[in-house]
Chain A
Amino acid sequence: MQYSKKVLEHFTRPHNQGALKNASGVGMVGNPVCGDLMKIYIKVKKDKKKGDIISDIKFETLGCASAIATSSMVTDLAKGKTVEDAMKITRNDVADALDGLPPIKMHCSNLADEALHEAIKDYRNSLIKN
């Protein structure tokens, strides 16, 4: 099993790592049995022209190197995007941006986009409630 240089970069120096206070939405996926737990926090700002923009995003991840690298990458991909566009980010987008993942690690990229989508859903649900 060999990780790409990009995976190792994001694993050793992850971007957007930490928690967000007063997040607009939070998504958490995974379970301790598989070994990976991922939590993504988003801050959404309303922009008159573009719509709802993810102005800030952070993650916390308990997991293997590829789980950490995919968390880092998905936050990079989503930052500055509208929530609509962020919803369109797929596991393949995450894996491709990392120059690929070993086949047995592809499920990690799945978790990353799921966590992001869950955070966006959480944000949308909060709008309905309010």
Chain B
Amino acid sequence: MQKNIYLDYAATTPVDKEVLREMLPYFGEKFGNAMSIHSFGQEALQAVDEARGKIATFFNATPSEIIFTSGATESNNITIKGVLKSYYSKPKNAKIKPHIITSAIEHHCILDSCKAVEQEKLAEISYIKPGKDGVVKISDINNAIKTNTILISVMYVNNEIGTVQPIEKIGKLVKKINAQKKETDFKILFHTDATQAINYCDCDTKKIGVDLLSMSAHKIYGPKGVGILYVKKGTAIKKIQDGGDQEYKMRAGTHNVPGIVGAGKAIELVQKNGQKDAKKIQFLRDYLIEKVLREIPHTMLNGSKIKRSPNNANFTFRDVEGEGLLLSLDMEGVAGSTGSACSSGALSPSHVLMAIGLKAEQAHGSLRLTLGKYTTKQEINTAVQKLKTVVVRLRKISGSVLEDYYSNK
């Protein structure tokens, strides 16, 4: 049987063999709790410290600025809720409701955290819409800033359409505005969810000017269940989970030692091979986009073609619905993803595709294909061939219903 083709690397990645090899001893022989004083504990702590060091190097940070979490979802929750917790810990702030700026195309863990604190009346939130190209405009961020703005959170790379947001520019803007503020004014913190960016973008925290940055290890060929929150020294943030004194008292809970070791190795591999891999992936991705647009009629690419992560392609096929497309492709051995509501159990289609101005049926008809370091040209050729067959079949079934719907209206 032919091997299945995986084109969903933005959902998750396989653990690299080198990463797994480094992790394995920490499940068995080196099982100690990193908080224990004895030799078992010391052995585990040393491994955690080593991983922390590698990650700090990658982010141009100090080890004490790296906090291990369970994933980007937790890192993002700590950011939104922990910054507010710190804000309200100062009695003088109690009367002024703080303001947070985010984008309309964030991952649900940011959007839903924002909605939660909004509902609890802890903060007012501005959701900045991107342009049609899926990129947030600096001027829109600038215009949204108010005297009570305490946090700006914008993702580095969008998970659905792969568009790269102007993080460095926002960092500079925040720095400029903070410099103009008086000692007693609220300073703005800048956070980026860099989950989809680690493999491909510059994550030097000094250069991009962030105070907080989130990521997940499983998107970079590391294990699931480990995340990182970079917290710049002196950032006004408080823990949101009570318990032990782990992670500089920022995140309670026994260290996931094998996971942390894996995250450290995974980052090390990105640092070593990331640029080379990205080049190869971008070449194949460009080949994929060009081939699909050329060989399948009535197809469009969603999101900017230029300001785009090297591994992401997101198409809309007219007269096709995404869930059926995905299922058919899977039967043919090709794994992708869609913004159709029908695939997730949600009632409305992708908030990202709707935010860049797609019609509902265009969002329902979307297909995301994301490449990774193991993708081959042969796989792309096979996938496009299968895709063509499936689109033709589904278009035959839908006939002219969409056209009829609009002409009857």
Contacts and interface: CB of A to CB of B under 8 A. Distances in A.
Interface of A: 1, 3, 8, 11-12, 14, 17-19, 28, 31-39, 60-65, 67-68, 104
A65 B402 contact: no
B324 A32 contact: no
B341 A34 contact: yes
Contacts of A35: 321, 323, 340-342, 349, 360-361, 364
B397 A37 contact: no
A60 B399 CA distance: 6
Interface in B213-263: none
Contact of A39 (B331, B359, B396, B401): B401
Given A34-B341, A35-B342, A35-B349, A61 B364 contact: no
B402 A11 contact: no
Interface of B: 319-324, 327-328, 331, 340-343, 345, 347-349, 359-361, 364, 396-402, 404-405, 408
Q: Is the interface of A mostly helix, strand, loop or mixed?
A: mixed
A19 B399 contact: yes
Contacts of B348: 33
B386 to A, nearest CB: 14
Contacts of A60: 397-401
Contacts of A65: 323-324, 327
Per CB-CB distance, the 10 closest pairs between chain A and chain B, nearest first, are: A60-B399, A32-B361, A62-B398, A64-B342, A64-B323, A35-B364, A33-B360, A37-B401, A104-B345, A65-B324
A28 B402 CA distance: 11
Nearest to B331: A12
Contact of A18 (B341, B347, B361, B399): B399
Given A19-B399, A32-B361, A39-B399, A67 B328 contact: no
13 contacts: A1-B345, A8-B327, A11-B328, A19-B400, A31-B405, A35-B361, A37-B405, A39-B401, A60-B397, A62-B401, A63-B342, A64-B322, A67-B342
A37 to B, nearest CB: 4
A62 B321 contact: yes
B404 A64 contact: no
A74 to B, nearest CB: 14
